Chain A
């Protein structure tokens, strides 16, 4: 039972345009959400997070939106750059769980074309 789903295996965008990566979750207990970026042959690196008490968090070119009623979050990258090409994982955690006990989505491969 996949509690965190990224339904788009891949996304291709042109440099300078907006990239929108989506993530859906089913567990209403999740209260903290994160996005990780992963390059080949490297471990995932933290990108941005959002608490369930917020609906938006921004960090430079990256913005995460949370729609709790729809159990949906999205990551916007504006403007997209070729160096953003990577696999993006969304992840979620529930209160009372160990700090790093995350449930990950399957990942979305983002390709940004020059």
Chain B
């Protein structure tokens, strides 16, 4: 049982490049989330999904897009990367409010 798996673990992009971060969970959770962690800021919610085929904006959605075509996968896309998007990105999932979030181990992204 792998839980929440994020790929890649590390990535370096040049400004303007695009990329997709993949999150996969094997716990049959309905709810999935993308957070970013920056020094001194804690974790901030980018986008989330309450079920297959649904997505919604979080606190800091600008510059990102997401898709949830399959229940187990949640993709985070950067269309045109900017240095301000240098961060550690965490995917998480949960089955409901009484259940805590399960996080992946993160993707460290650097945009130069």
Residues of A within 8 A of B (CB): 4, 6, 32, 34, 36, 41-46, 49, 89, 91, 93, 98-107
Contacts and interface: CB of A to CB of B under 8 A. Distances in A.
Contact of B101 (A100, A105, A106, A107): A100
Instruction: Give the bracket for the number of chain B residues in contact with chain A.
Output: 20 to 34
Interface stretch (B14-22, B41-49, B61-69, B79-87): B41-49
Nearest to B91: A43
Contacts of A103: 59
Given A32-B97, A101-B48, A104-B43, 7 more contacts: A41-B105, A41-B106, A43-B103, A44-B101, A91-B43, A98-B31, A101-B45
A100 B56 contact: no
Interface in B72-105: 90, 92-94, 96-97, 99-105
**4 nearest CB pairs, A to B:** A43-B103, A46-B100, A104-B42, A99-B97
A28 B61 CA distance: 25
A92 to B, nearest CB: 11
**Most interface-central of B41, B90, B101 (chain A CB within 10 A):** B101
21 contacts: A6-B42, A41-B105, A42-B105, A42-B106, A43-B92, A43-B103, A43-B106, A44-B90, A46-B100, A49-B100, A98-B31, A98-B48, A99-B96, A101-B58, A102-B45, A102-B101, A103-B59, A104-B43, A104-B44, A105-B42, A106-B40
Contacts of A41: 105-106
A3 to B, nearest CB: 10
B96 A106 contact: no
A43 B104 contact: yes
A105 B35 CA distance: 13
B104 to A, nearest CB: 5
B50 interface: yes
B111 to A, nearest CB: 20
A46 B101 contact: yes
